[in-house]
Amino acid sequence: MGIEDWRLEEFFDRYAEAQRDFDAEATARFWGLPGMVISDDFAGALESRADMATGLSSSYPLHRRLGFASIVPELRAVSSLTDVISLVRVRWSHLDADDELIVTSDVEYLVRDDADGLRIYVAVGIDEADALRRAAAAKGIELDAG
């Protein structure tokens, strides 16, 4: 059967709310431990929520410079791997203060229904780095080469 879509939608709506508030500690609580993040440019496992919060908050200055004021999730695909594990593709729409679209990016999440609720264990950034580059270029913002 898998995790019901409505639960996943509700989960990612709450996750987006924490991100909109630039609340790294609240965002980190949506993760199970250890949490793995992987993309073309990065791969790492985080063993604690404190480490996750630190990693998440490191992106906030750039997000603010790019004018990200809101973020809206759209579930694009859900694959139930087991009764309690689902692979979920989410398209994130980053909006400015006027609710105008700045950029979208897709992320694949491995979500497990733990005893205390849904938790993300793996996130695969499909095009996040490219989305940030596009948003920066559109606003004339130079990104650090590192």
Evaluate if residue 83 carries a pLDDT over 90: yes
Query: Long-range CB contacts (< 8 A, 24+ apart) of 137-141?
Result: 138/102, 138/103, 139/65, 139/66, 139/67, 141/65, 141/66
Domain 5-138 listed as CATH 3.10.150.10: no
User: What is the total residue count of the chain?
Assistant: 146
Three-state DSSP class for 40? coil
Of 114, 107, 112, the C-alpha closest to 129 is 107
- Delimit the domains of the chain by residue range: 5-138
Q: Residue 1, class by beta-carbon neighbours within 10 Å (0-12 exposed, 13-18 middle, 19+ buried)?
A: exposed
**Amino acid letter, 97:** A
Task: Convert the pLDDT of each residue in 87-145 to its tens digit.
Answer: 999 999 999 999 999 999 999 999 999 999 999 999 999 998 888 888 888 888 887 75
Q: Tens digits of per-residue pLDDT, 18-73?
A: 999 999 999 999 999 999 999 888 898 999 999 999 988 988 988 999 999 999 99
Element (H, E) at 142: none
pTM equals: 0.91
Phi, psi of 7 (to 5 degrees): -70, -40
